[in-house]
Amino acid sequence: MNTHENVRHPWRNQDFEAQLESGIAEWKTKRADIYRPLRIEAGLDNHPHAPLSIIGLRGDCLNGSDGLLLQVEELIKLSRGEQDTDKEYVIYPDFVRFDSGEGKAVLANSVRGHDIYIYADVFNHGVKYLMYGEEQRYSPDDHYADLKRVIGAIMGKASRVSIIMPMLYEGRQHRRSLRESLDCAIMLQELRDMGISNFLTFDAHDPRVQNAIPLLGFDDVHTTHQMIKALVNKYGSELSLDRDKIIVVSPDEGGMSRNIYFSEALKLDLSMFWKRRDYTRVVNGKNPIIEHKYIGADSLEGLDIIISDDMIASGASLIDVADQLKAQGVNRIFAFSPFGLFCGKSTENDFDKAYEKGVIEQVFTTNLIYRPDWLCGKPWYTEVDLSRYLAMFIDTLNRDMTISSLLNTRPRIMNFLIEEGLRTEADYVEDYVDSELLKTDPDAARANALRRIREVRSKVR
């Protein structure tokens, strides 16, 4: 029994259509005039490796990866001068589910010789199917099974198959403590054995899991630049990045590298919490947290706080950390996370109460994965759009060009903050100065560093 109608552009409705057209019009106004010269400079007018196809897994048509892929398709067409054509890059397979729960994937069109990018949002729980007459939600395991079915339906006929999995399947199960499975590593090895060429993910919980596939391409993309832009664009002149006004705080020791990145990019001080756990018990697969203990600056009174974590699950840990910070007299708390799962039973109510009490100022998550319907319109929530960033990755990879400049977000963050007047070139001299020359001729060293900064800024795209 097939409970999924595979209709081209099934997500389109009047509101979404208007929103998309508005976004594309804004893109044309702001970017189209400069995008072509940048493409020429970067060598992106080279011919594609092979005909491009983007395959989306089954998703909620209005609030999942489908809507994102539609925007990505439009942006790629715009960058290639095809915006007024009927060309389509996105393919939606037909996912058949039988009454027993078994399934298969069917591709209606040939993809022989194509350069294929499969976008796999394995955390889209908005998808449902019937099994033995009862409605079931899709789990990450179901989406992963569909991903393998799509690769099987391609039958090895594609020129190249790359996987874009924004949030890693079983990414939190990346190391072994007891007699337990290493699901993320097994997943990567399975996909390698099925013939994929490259794997792209965003803000991996622990990117060292790529050691499971040392001979396969694995790229971990950071969303730091887009998060900072969203914060600055939302608060404008109300936001100060002076060190005596704002500080970065890591919610736990596992997130230190991520928050160090924010701290260095923004030129801010850093503090942290560490989680004291009860290692005598296991609850829901984890050792329960007894308390969050703060380590850092003696006084946080009056400071704004930036907290970055790799995901928001129930949000309980984030709110607990925010409560402790508020008890120290901090001002506003901004929380960044690429993936907002919001999967606790009382998560919506908990965040509403935290906002009403002034504990949380704003939560920023991306549109890379499914977001629950209730999230839309919440005063404490901002969605960070990654469609342009994703389109640039796919377009660049399809042309066999390097993505190093896209992966390295530091120059773009620096350039953005300088353009916004929140930082000056002098703030970044220490990052580019020749330490040996600085000892003998400080003035020349600083002048050379400023020239280097201007060269780097001129190449930002």
pLDDT at site 20: 60
Angle separating helix axes 140-154 and 183-193, nearest 10 degrees:
10
| Alpha-carbon span 190 to 196, nearest angstrom | 10
Distance from CA of residue 256 to its chain's centroid? 18
How many whole angstroms separate alpha carbon 360 and alpha carbon 305? 10
Q: Residue 7: what pLDDT? A: 40
Please tell me the distance from the alpha carbon of residue 362 to that of residue 172, in angstroms, as a whole number. 25
Residue 283: the pLDDT is 65
Pairing between β-strand 270-277 and β-strand 289-295 as defined by DSSP bridges: antiparallel
Residue 9: the pLDDT is: 42
Please name the residue that has the structure tokens 């009927």: 86
Containing H/E element for 26? helix 14-42
Q: What is the mean pLDDT of each run of 10 residues along the chain (461 residues)?
A: 41 53 58 47 67 84 64 91 85 92 92 96 91 94 96 94 95 80 94 96 92 94 95 94 93 87 92 72 65 76 94 90 92 96 90 95 95 90 94 94 90 94 92 89 93 91 64
Query: Which amino acid, one-letter code, is at 187?
Result: M
Instruction: Give the model's pLDDT for residue 289.
Output: 65
CA distances for 254 relative to 15, 152, 251, 283, angstroms: 41, 36, 8, 20
Domains of the chain are 14-222+388-397 (3.40.50.2020), 224-385 (3.40.50.2020), 424-458 (no CATH)
The predicted pLDDT at position 273 comes to 83
Distance CA 335, CA 305 (A): 8
